[in-house]
A and B are shown apart, each in its own frame.
Chain A
């Protein structure tokens, strides 16, 4: 049966009402809904299409007429539909906020619309990815290939081409990357920061970047490589380029590398490259259990969270290191009052520098090489006839004074142990000794002092006040012995970069040509990234041939 509703004095244009009629007619409990303004022409249409209702007789051209054809005599349907009309009109008036970005149908037009494009994100069916990626490389763009089912020969071809041109190919089958503020495919909203992540593992990149963000740090970039990059066949071509890029990137202070274990031949070259980035690096080869974990500036880890946490620590160390004047000498001296603290510092240094720690502990030496020395001042030798250095700092103060004549010393590692039984002001004692020693050394031979402050805020010495005393004396505080050692290592490692390619991809805000899944372009636009979406569809061979001819016929 037919029922009608009039909405007086609510003019809407006919297109809006045609859309409404179509949408409402598809509702389950009605056969047909017709919504029009009450003009005489429209009243004729109501009649001709069998939708006339006598209530329309009085309608004026400014009245919205709704006629509902529904089963049965349920007046509720008409009310429901009328309410729907009002609701939908209100929703239309509000409008939707669609991300605005240009859409192109040809690669040439996409480049015209975004002349500064430097990356193509390709997510078309695998069989077409190679051709499009080649076109992008030829146009000087870096490429990320989300598509899988790309043959290993095609991958090698693309990566060799890219290598020649100083461009990066991420993928194929690369699901995650973040370049600057641009989330590419599967990625999280990670704050900007000093850590660059490079990886052949999509969720690995996501987990590590998220852990970094939750650790209070951010990332500069996260570059994907594709699962096969570290195979024997591909030989880590993209890994090499990506690491060159981050090595040269000012904003990347720390590098994290995540992948499954690389092929044996690739592994050696990759480790070599990671050691020579001139930046602290963390590497995680999932499932790998390395015996040795620290190699100078490179640290191997076993789990994703460990990699992320270490990277966060290294980034903090970088911040501290940036405030330290350049060293004139590289010798590390450790003067610890706590034996275990001395022992840990010695072990970590020995592993990182490939030295052997001193097992005999003669004269309290935990590490003794031509260059570096770490002493446990709690050793019996030093406590004979005098109190333990945690109670009486005199002995250590003397040794600190003695450093005034040690021209090879560049870094002093110390501990300050608070708590019951300890000296009432160990920080004050240390600060005074350090100041005296520095005065004696003079400005030409600066020494960096890094203290490990063992204590809690409830301790009788007042942790915060002790920390302030150290800081006022220009003594750096490390959160742990490991952090102190990391900082020391950072300071003595030359920032030497063997190969680095400064890529505009990392140094300029990214501009992306998106080919394939439209949603990726939406995400980029909503993150204020310049993007053009290239609507692409496969064509027959004949059409492809004609296309090439048409492009060249002038």
Chain B
């Protein structure tokens, strides 16, 4: 027992600081996540949710997963199956995260990120690229083709390349470089994706796969600017779980959305979710779509903001701020300055040149959120509210303050019991 919350938080931050996540492998999900090994189980983003309550993009992805796993042959069959026979579990309860719908099934590949220091592991599925993609609720035709290719070609090629290095790929240094190149790891990952490709290119080139397959993998990595997002998410999950293991304090260790509810977890409050209805992101839309098409906030990707990058590191990627308001550098600076009020520390390993080399934010404190009324800014993609259409824009959203207020009250109660 720590005497004060401040001391407990210091311990949580120590664990976070000393975490050293490596990207070690890409494996089929059922090999890593026991819950997926048997029966008809799907992982989803956000706090617990059942089929009936899911919003369009998640439902679409569920249908896609049923088709992908061969549990159904048609959309109608898939719908009937999802309604009756699928068990849904949150990614977060399986040491995993998934962007947008977060739907991950047994035979989808996942990134394996291992913390070399504390030993915990985190998983995330692989980024499909842009356009019609499952994470945004598209599920037919090209989506299925791509998922199969990722399972059969991309994953084995990446796995083999990663294993050429006995320790895997050290991610902290890569991210430290990428943040100086204008990434904030949620909406902008182009630099980190390029650095990842640079690190893997030779190992992919000399791999045992057919030349055409290797070329396809390299081409895929070449054009997938957000490929690193899923790596960053696994990285952040790995770090936050290491902090959460302290079991005390008021540091937020997970923030996630299932399309209905926004949920947070706190270092001193165990596995309990504190939830409130999500907001809908505002931002810029591809031509032909508008705010009216936007699905409410969804996805585990807010794990990046939990760690202190994404919206909190907006100043590292000023271009991203134009997804909201007038945009421009002063807006980016203002956002990051505002975030400094609710994160207790600066992350000395992720220094931001455009912020006078101040470190990125670190240690989101429930008390600070409640005291200031400032909720974290989350940079996010925007899905169409109808299943099957996919991404229609990108923007910014904030969690409901109620989550933090509930968690704070629970924290006060927990302290009064032990006092």
Chain A interface residues toward B at CB < 8 A: 13, 15-16, 18-19, 21-22, 25, 32-36, 41, 44-45, 48-51, 95-96, 98, 100, 102-106, 108-109, 113, 535, 537, 539, 542-543, 546-547, 549-551, 553-554
Residue of A nearest to B334 (CB): A103
Q: Name the A residues within 8 Å of B367 (CB-CB).
A: 550-551, 553
Q: B341 near A: Cβ within 8 Å? A: yes
Give the contacts of B1-28 with A (CB-CB under 8 A). Answer: 4-6
* A543 B401 Cβ-Cβ under 8 A: yes
How many residues from B make CB contacts under 8 Å with A? 40
Q: A98-B328, A546-B405 are in contact. Are A32 and B334 (CB under 8 A)?
A: no
Residue of A nearest to B132 (CB): A48
Smallest CB separation, B149 vs chain A (Å): 17
* B405 A18 Cβ-Cβ under 8 A: no
Residue of A nearest to B366 (CB): A550
Bound Cα distance from A104 to B337, whole angstroms:
7
> Which one, B330, B338, B368, contacts A550 given CB within 8 A?
B368
Q: Name the A residues within 8 Å of B372 (CB-CB).
A: 105-106, 108-109, 547
Q: Name the B residues within 8 Å of A44 (CB-CB).
A: 131
* A51 B287 Cβ-Cβ under 8 A: yes
Bound Cα distance from A25 to B289, whole angstroms:
11
Bound Cα distance from A48 to B323, whole angstroms:
22
> Which one, A13, A32, A108, A551, contacts B287 given CB within 8 A?
A32
Q: Name the A residues within 8 Å of B412 (CB-CB).
A: 549, 553
Residue of A nearest to B333 (CB): A100
Smallest CB separation, A62 vs chain B (Å): 16
Q: Name the A residues within 8 Å of B285 (CB-CB).
A: 18, 22
Smallest CB separation, A299 vs chain B (Å): 49
29 contacts between A and B (CB under 8 A): A13-B319, A15-B323, A18-B284, A18-B286, A18-B393, A19-B284, A19-B322, A33-B287, A34-B288, A36-B287, A96-B328, A100-B333, A103-B338, A104-B338, A105-B374, A106-B341, A108-B371, A109-B372, A537-B373, A539-B373, A543-B401, A546-B370, A546-B405, A546-B409, A547-B371, A549-B408, A550-B366, A551-B367, A553-B412
* B288 A49 Cβ-Cβ under 8 A: yes
> Which one, B4, B284, B330, contacts A98 given CB within 8 A?
B330
Q: Name the A residues within 8 Å of B134 (CB-CB).
A: none
Lowest 3 A-B CB distances belong to which pairs?
Answer: A49-B288, A34-B287, A550-B371
* A100 B341 Cβ-Cβ under 8 A: no
> Which one, B284, B320, B340, B366, contacts A109 given CB within 8 A?
B340
* A105 B287 Cβ-Cβ under 8 A: no
Bound Cα distance from A45 to B288, whole angstroms:
9
* A16 B328 Cβ-Cβ under 8 A: no
Q: Name the B residues within 8 Å of A535 (CB-CB).
A: 338
- Having A22-B285, A537-B373, A543-B405, one finds 17 other A-B pairs with CB under 8 Å, namely A15-B284, A15-B319, A19-B322, A34-B287, A41-B130, A44-B131, A45-B287, A95-B328, A98-B328, A103-B334, A104-B341, A106-B341, A546-B370, A547-B370, A547-B373, A553-B367, A553-B412
Most buried by B among A22, A50, A95, A542: A22
Q: Name the A residues within 8 Å of B393 (CB-CB).
A: 18
Smallest CB separation, B183 vs chain A (Å): 14
Q: A104-B337, A106-B374, A546-B408 are in contact. Are A15 and B320 (CB under 8 A)?
A: yes
Q: Name the B residues within 8 Å of A537 (CB-CB).
A: 373
Q: Name the B residues within 8 Å of A102 (CB-CB).
A: 337
Chain B, residues 366-394, CB within 8 Å of chain A (1/0): the string is 11101111100000000000000000010
* B401 A50 Cβ-Cβ under 8 A: no
Q: B270 near A: Cβ within 8 Å? A: no
Residue of A nearest to B188 (CB): A15
Smallest CB separation, A489 vs chain B (Å): 54
> Which one, B322, B409, B415, contacts A16 given CB within 8 A?
B322
* A51 B288 Cβ-Cβ under 8 A: yes
Q: B327 near A: Cβ within 8 Å? A: yes
Smallest CB separation, B210 vs chain A (Å): 25
Most buried by B among A15, A48, A102: A15
Bound Cα distance from A51 to B327, whole angstroms:
27
Q: Name the A residues within 8 Å of B370 (CB-CB).
A: 543, 546-547, 549-550
> Which one, A16, A41, A553, contacts B5 given CB within 8 A?
A553
* A50 B288 Cβ-Cβ under 8 A: yes
Smallest CB separation, B169 vs chain A (Å): 28
* A32 B337 Cβ-Cβ under 8 A: no
Bound Cα distance from A143 to B367, whole angstroms:
28
Q: Name the A residues within 8 Å of B287 (CB-CB).
A: 21, 25, 32-36, 45, 49, 51
Bound Cα distance from A439 to B373, whole angstroms:
78
* B328 A551 Cβ-Cβ under 8 A: no
Q: Name the A residues within 8 Å of B340 (CB-CB).
A: 109
Q: Name the B residues within 8 Å of A105 (CB-CB).
A: 338, 341, 372-374
Bound Cα distance from A22 to B286, whole angstroms:
9
Bound Cα distance from A363 to B369, whole angstroms:
86
Q: Name the A residues within 8 Å of B6 (CB-CB).
A: 554
Give the contacts of B103-161 with A (CB-CB under 8 A). Answer: 130-131
Bound Cα distance from A304 to B327, whole angstroms:
46
* A15 B288 Cβ-Cβ under 8 A: no
Q: Name the A residues within 8 Å of B337 (CB-CB).
A: 102-104, 113
Q: Name the A residues within 8 Å of B330 (CB-CB).
A: 98, 100
* A543 B284 Cβ-Cβ under 8 A: no
* A109 B341 Cβ-Cβ under 8 A: yes
Smallest CB separation, A137 vs chain B (Å): 20
Bound Cα distance from A547 to B337, whole angstroms:
20
Bound Cα distance from A414 to B408, whole angstroms:
82
Bound Cα distance from A96 to B322, whole angstroms:
14
Smallest CB separation, A141 vs chain B (Å): 19
Q: Name the A residues within 8 Å of B334 (CB-CB).
A: 103
Bound Cα distance from A539 to B6, whole angstroms:
26
Bound Cα distance from A51 to B288, whole angstroms:
9
Q: Name the B residues within 8 Å of A41 (CB-CB).
A: 130-131
Bound Cα distance from A48 to B5, whole angstroms:
54
Bound Cα distance from A280 to B372, whole angstroms:
48
Smallest CB separation, B89 vs chain A (Å): 32
Smallest CB separation, B285 vs chain A (Å): 7
Give the contacts of B289-332 with A (CB-CB under 8 A). Answer: 289, 319-320, 322-323, 327-328, 330
* B322 A15 Cβ-Cβ under 8 A: yes
Q: Name the B residues within 8 Å of A15 (CB-CB).
A: 284, 319-320, 322-323, 327
Smallest CB separation, A106 vs chain B (Å): 4
Q: Name the A residues within 8 Å of B323 (CB-CB).
A: 15, 18
Bound Cα distance from A547 to B412, whole angstroms:
12
Smallest CB separation, A52 vs chain B (Å): 11
Q: Name the A residues within 8 Å of B288 (CB-CB).
A: 32, 34, 48-51
Smallest CB separation, A397 vs chain B (Å): 73
Bound Cα distance from A19 to B289, whole angstroms:
13
Residue of B nearest to A106 (CB): B372
Q: Name the A residues within 8 Å of B408 (CB-CB).
A: 546, 549-550
Q: Name the B residues within 8 Å of A108 (CB-CB).
A: 371-372
Bound Cα distance from A33 to B287, whole angstroms:
7
Bound Cα distance from A466 to B373, whole angstroms:
74
Bound Cα distance from A103 to B370, whole angstroms:
18
> Which one, B130, B286, B289, B371, contacts A551 given CB within 8 A?
B371
Bound Cα distance from A16 to B328, whole angstroms:
11
Most buried by B among A18, A34, A36, A551: A18
Smallest CB separation, A190 vs chain B (Å): 29
Q: Name the A residues within 8 Å of B131 (CB-CB).
A: 41, 44
Bound Cα distance from A15 to B341, whole angstroms:
28
Residue of B nearest to A34 (CB): B287
Q: Name the A residues within 8 Å of B371 (CB-CB).
A: 106, 108, 547, 550-551
* B4 A554 Cβ-Cβ under 8 A: yes
Q: Name the A residues within 8 Å of B286 (CB-CB).
A: 18, 45, 49
Smallest CB separation, A383 vs chain B (Å): 79
Bound Cα distance from A539 to B370, whole angstroms:
11
Bound Cα distance from A102 to B356, whole angstroms:
14
Residue of B nearest to A99 (CB): B330
Q: Name the B residues within 8 Å of A109 (CB-CB).
A: 340-341, 372
